[in-house]
Amino acid sequence: MEKQAKIYITGHRGLVGSAVLRALQQQGFHNLVMRTSQELDLRIQADVDRFFEQEQPDYVFVVAGKVGGIMANSTYPAEFIYDNVMIAANVIHASYKCKVKKLLFTGSSCIYPKFARQPIKEDYLLDGKLEPTNDAYAIAKIAGIKMCQAYHRQYGVNFISAMPTNLYGINDNFDLQSSHVLPALIRKFHDAKQGNAPEVVLWGTGRPLREFLFVDDLADALLFLMEHYNDPEIINVGVGKEISIREVAELIRDIVGFQGKLVFDATKPDGTPRKLLDVSKIQQLGWQAKTPLVDGIRKTYAWFEATHRG
C-alpha cells in the first residue's frame, strides 16, 4: 500500500477496526476513510454504493460485523446471519464496482467444522458440520469468503480473506451478556474483587480449549497480509497455542488479584471443544504473533481499569 493511498476501515471503533486504525497511523498512512454505523449502515446497499462512488477508496479492510460471544451468537442467530451477510455482500460488491485495488475480508476460526482435526489447516473448511452455537454467524462469514473467491475467479480482483482466532484487547466489549470469554472474565473478576464476592461463576465446564490473539498483533498481521498476500485462498491468523478456559480463568484471576473461588455452571454451553489454528502458512510468509498471553491480558486489564471507573 502506498503511504498516500486512500484506505477505508470499516468498523473503526470496534476491537479490530480501532487496532487496524492505530497500526495504519503508526505506519504513516494518513489518507484514511471511516464511518460509524450511524453515519453509514453497511446493511443498506444503496447507501454503501453511494458512499463508495463518492469516496473511491483504494484499499478496504472489511472488519465491521455483528460480533459476540457464545451466548449472543446462540440467542440472536437471525441478527448474526442477516447483518454479516448484508455487510459482506454490500461492501464486497461495491468494492468490485468501484475498482478497489485490494480488499481484506475478516472471517473467524468458527467457520471451521466443530470436530475439525487439530491444529486446523485452511483446507479443512467445509469438511464437516459447524458448531450449532455459532453456525448462523459462521455461514455468513463463509459467504463472505466465497464471495471474495468468486469475484477473484470471475473478475480477477485482489480480494483476500483472513481467519483470526479468538481475539481480545483494547476496545473490547465487556458486556457480560454479549462479550467473549476473555473480556467477560476480566469484568467478572474485577467486579468480584471490588465487591468482595466469595466466588465467580463461569459458563460451561472450563474444559474447552481456546487460542487467544492480542488484537494489536492481529492488526499487524492484517497490514502484513495487505502488503504481502495476494491469494484468494483463506489464511489463518493465530498464535498456534491453546489453553483451557479453566487455565485462562486462573490466569485472569491472578492478574486481577481476585482471591475467591471459581465455580463452573455446566448448564451453560461449552461450545466447540477445541479450535486451534494451524498457523504455518502465515508463519512461512514471515509473520508471527508477538504478545504473550499474560502481557496481553495485563495491557487489556490496565486499559479496562482506566476506562471503566465507577
Ligand X SMILES: NC(=O)C1=CN([C@@H]2O[C@H](COP(=O)(O)OP(=O)(O)OC[C@H]3O[C@@H](n4cnc5c(N)ncnc54)[C@H](OP(=O)(O)O)[C@@H]3O)[C@@H](O)[C@H]2O)C=CC1
Ligand Y SMILES: C[C@H]1O[C@H](OP(=O)(O)OP(=O)(O)OC[C@H]2O[C@@H](n3cnc4c(=O)[nH]c(N)nc43)[C@H](O)[C@@H]2O)[C@@H](O)[C@@H](O)C1=O
Question: Is 63 an interacting residue with respect to ligand X (CB under 6 A)?
Answer: yes
Question: Is 203 an interacting residue with respect to ligand Y (CB under 6 A)?
Answer: yes
Cβ atoms 68, 173 nearer than 8 A: yes
Question: Minimum CB separation from ligand X for residue 48, in Å?
Answer: 9
Q: Which of 57, 164, 208, 240 binds ligand X (CB under 6 A)?
A: 164
Active site residues: 137
Cβ atoms 183, 300 nearer than 8 A: yes
Question: Is 180 an interacting residue with respect to ligand Y (CB under 6 A)?
Answer: yes
Name the H helices within the chain. 15-26, 45-55, 70-75, 77-97, 135-155, 181-194, 215-228, 245-256, 280-285, 293-307
Give the range of 57-65, 73-81, 119-127, 226-234 binding ligand X by CB under 6 A. Answer: 57-65
Residue 101 is assigned to a ligand binding site: no
Q: What is the DSSP letter of 9?
A: E
Residue 134 is assigned to a ligand binding site: no
Question: Is 36 an interacting residue with respect to ligand X (CB under 6 A)?
Answer: yes
Q: Is the dihedral of CA 21, 143, 242, 14 positive or negative?
A: positive
CA 288 – CA 283 distance, rounded (Å)? 6
Instruction: Please list every residue from 93 through 122 that binds ligand Y, using CB under 6 A.
Output: 108, 110
Q: Which of 173, 179, 291, 300 binds ligand X (CB under 6 A)?
A: 173
Residue 141 is assigned to a ligand binding site: yes
Interacting partner of 13 out of ligand Y, ligand X, none (Cβ under 5 to 8 A depending on kind): ligand X
CA 120 – CA 243 distance, rounded (Å)? 15
- Closer residue to ligand Y in complex, CB, 33/202: 202
CA 60 – CA 91 distance, rounded (Å)? 9
Question: Minimum CB separation from ligand X for residue 246, in Å?
Answer: 19
Q: Is the dihedral of CA 134, 136, 137, 142 positive or negative?
A: positive
Question: Is 167 an interacting residue with respect to ligand X (CB under 6 A)?
Answer: yes
Cβ atoms 31, 5 nearer than 8 A: yes
Residues placed in the known binding site for NADP(+): 11-17, 141, 164-167, 180
Q: List residues binding ligand X (CB under 6 A).
A: 11, 13-17, 36-37, 41-43, 63-67, 83, 87, 106, 108, 164, 166-167, 173, 180
